[in-house]
Amino acid sequence: MVVTRFIEKIGRRKQCALCFLFILLCGYLFFFFGMGSYSLKEPDEGRYAEIPREMVEQGN
């Protein structure tokens, strides 16, 4: 009886570990998949960010 309870606890732990790994894998796929495949949406975004920074720096 004690042995069967121990085996059941081990089975539950493995099941929890598998569920946790499945959730991590899904998170990886949804969050990291395709990351870096798109560049900036507009090529002028860097320039439009630099202009106000220079204006603040120069006091304009």
Distances (CA, A) of 52 to 5, 46, 57: 68, 11, 8
| Reported pTM | 0.44
Residue 53: is its pLDDT beyond 80? yes
Is 40 in contact with 46 (CB distance < 8 Å)?
yes
Q: What is the pLDDT of residue 18?
A: 83
pLDDT for 2-47, tens place per residue? 656 766 766 777 778 888 889 999 988 888 877 766 665 667 777 8
DSSP string, 6-42: HHHHHHHHHHHHHHHHHHHHHHHHHHHTTTTSS--SS
| Alpha carbons 38 and 7: distance in angstroms, whole number | 49
What residue spans define the domains of the chain? 2-58
